[in-house]
Each structure stands twice: as structure tokens, then as C-alpha cells.
Amino acid sequence: MGLLLIFVVALLAFGLSTLSGGGAGLLLLPVLARVLPASSVPAALTVGTATSTVSKLALFWRRIAWPVTRRFVPGAVPGVLLGAYLLKYLNPLYLEVFIGLFLLSNLPAALRRSAPDEAGATPERAGWLKLSIIGFLAGFLSGLTGAVGLLFNKFYFRYGLSRDEVIATRAANEVLLHGIKLGLYLYLGLLTGPVWRAGAVVAVAAVLATAGAKRLVKYLSESLFQRIGYAAMVLSGVFMLGSATQELRSTQNLRASTRVFGGDLEITGWWRSTSLTLELEMDESPAIEQPVPLADLPASVRAAIGRLPKQRPIVKVEEVWKLNHHYYEVYLNDQGRVYSVDIPD
């Protein structure tokens, strides 16, 4: 059932990817995350997207903007090496949250009535340094998450590339990166049996979708192609942000809540076994608070707590940071009424 779901979504995603200039990988990330561990998702995705990239090269080879590729690839290679290496040590879910927010920021461009005017410098005039930096960022994020090509659609539009040139140039820029990533993932032991199976399903769907969508691309105007591209960015952002936050909520206990406690509004966030509270008081400046076990308190604070009335049980103790002010707040229960006592650091 999991592989069938991957095939159906991959077929739709790669069809949209060809029509919009990219985005299949970002749409597939949430689906693959339901079947594979988070650290294995980039490897499975790369198996499929590498196949899709090769098929696009075969279909659109004549439309590659080589001036962009010659400037993009030299920066992308070290970026993908660094991203794939850090995959062993970093959780890509946190990065996916920020990528999702960035993709959502393209909503105004997708809703604009007139065609977005992104044309600027020509590919021949593109600076080596600028395109190398963009290439490095693309390679780094791709090595860490498996697919972020759609993030840089705006860059291709700004250099005045046509719809066929965007598809072909992106494929030319990414084919070497996919090869490097596959080699690194194999070396790191990430290409396991389940990863190969999921990647093979994505690959088959990618080839079928790319071949079918190529016939539709020629009927799209340049402005409609850009509009679809921006819409795909926003859609990918929604999928990625929703999936990443849900996964973080279940695996990292990432959550937040609000309540009124002691007459003040508290906004509390949890991450793993740690919590942090932002307290908004009506008559004072905002404060950041964190619960502290009694055993971890400084000796002077424990001594001050020992002098408090014994008949009033301690509800909790928090360390408090305000602007130019740091202290501990002890909450006591006085026959059902909770009140707090401040103890200086």
C-alpha cells in the first residue's frame, strides 16, 4: 500500500514538475516520510529524481542554457558534498520547516493577475560569483534534503529563460549532483533495500510522467508556465511545512499551548523533554521562563525556598529572564489559590 501511494503521488508530482519547471521532490518528501525513516528519505528521493533528470535531459537537451550551467555547477558540487555529509548529523526536518515557509512566501507572485516580470540579466551576463553561490546553496540543500530545485525557479525566471530552457537547464545543473549524492549515500550506508524499492517506484513514475507531460508543455505560454511554477512552489511549501511540523510533533514532541496562570498569559513551547514559556504580564515587560527542578537550583535559591512557609506546597519553580533582569519564580499553593514569590539570582 505504501509503494502504491508513492507511485500515484510521484506520477502526479513529476507531471506537475515538468509543467512547472520542478517541484516533484518537494511534493514527494511528505509521502516518502510516511514509509521511510527521515534520514533515508533523501536517498530514496534521489534515486527517483536522478532518473527523472536523465529523462528530461534526453527530451530537452537542445534547450540547455550552457552559460548558466557553467557558472552554477562549480559551486554546487562542494555544496552537495557538505550537505550529504551533514545528513548523518542533522535532522532535515528542521530545515524543511524553513524551506516550507520560504516557498509559501511566493504566494503573492502566484496570485498576481499580471504575469510576474522576472526577466533581468541574460544568462551570458550572469556573474560567476553570484551563480556559484546560488549553486552552492542549491547543492547543500539538495544534499541534505534530497530535493530543493524548485526553490531556485525564481532564479531561472530572472535570467529570462524560456519554459523549455528552465526544464533543460535545471536538469543539466542537477544531473551531476544526483550522481554525487547517490555515491555518497551508498558510501554512508543509506541506500538500503527499502530505499532502493521506494526509489525504483519513484523512478518509474518519473519517466512515465515526464514523457506524458512533455506533450503538454508546448501548449503553455511563458506567463502561464511561470504562474504554474509559482503555484507549485506554494503548494510544495504547504505540503512540506505540514508534513515536517507533524513529524516533529510526533518524534520530537514539538508543540505549543497557551493558558492563563496566576493572572498572566503564558505561551509555552515544548521540544523533546524541554519547555520554554513566554509570559505576557499586563503591567510589566514580557518574560521568558523555563521550569527548573529543585535539585538544579543554585544553593542560595534553595536556601531562600527553604525559608518559605512549609504549609504551602510548591507547585513549580521557573527561571525567569526579563530585560536586564534575571530571577527565579516560585509558585505556591495556598489552599487552592496559586501565587508566586520572586527570588533574586
Question: Tens of pLDDT along 190-237?
Answer: 888 888 888 888 888 888 887 777 677 667 776 777 677 777 777 777
Verify that 107 and 187 share a domain, yes or no: yes
Q: Which of 224, 251, 278 is the last residue of a domain?
A: 251
- Is residue 17 domain-shared with residue 78, that is, in the same domain? yes
Verify that 113 and 239 share a domain, yes or no. Answer: yes
The residue from 230, 251, 272 where one domain ends is 251
pLDDT digits (tens, 9 = 90+) for 91-109: 767 777 777 777 777 677 6
Q: Look at residue 310 and give its three-state secondary structure.
A: coil
Domain count of the chain?
Answer: 2
The total of other beta-carbon atoms located within 10 Å of residue 63's CB is 17
CA dist 114 → 109, 223, 226 (Å): 9, 9, 11
Q: Based on the fold, state whether residues 230 and 265 are members of the same structural domain.
A: no
Phi, psi dihedrals of residue 224, rounded to the nearest 5°: -70, -35
Let me know whether 78 and 224 are in one domain: yes
pLDDT at 282 over 60: no
Cell numbers placing 298 = 543554585
Q: For residues 26 and 73, give the distance between their C-alpha atoms in angstroms, rounded to a whole number.
A: 21
Residue 239 or residue 81, greater confidence = 81
Domain boundary pick from 204, 219, 251: 251
User: Domain check: are 50 and 159 in the same one?
Assistant: yes
The verdict on 166 and 209 lying in the same domain is yes
- Using CA atoms, how far apart are residues 127 and 221, in angstroms rounded to an integer? 28
Q: Which whole number is the average pLDDT over 326-342?
A: 83
pLDDT tens-digit readout, 55-65: 878 878 888 88
Is residue 266 domain-shared with residue 130, that is, in the same domain?
A: no
User: DSSP state, 230?
Assistant: H
Same domain flag for 175 and 281:
no
Average pLDDT for 285-313: 81
Looking at the structure, tell me whether residues 72 and 46 fall in a common domain.
Answer: yes
pTM attached to this predicted model: 0.54
pLDDT value for 326:
85
Contacts with 247 (C-beta within 8 Å, 6 or more apart), sequence order: 33, 38, 93
Segments forming the whole domain that contains residue 10: 2-251
Statement to judge: residues 83 and 181 lie in one domain: yes
Do 266 and 245 belong to one domain? no
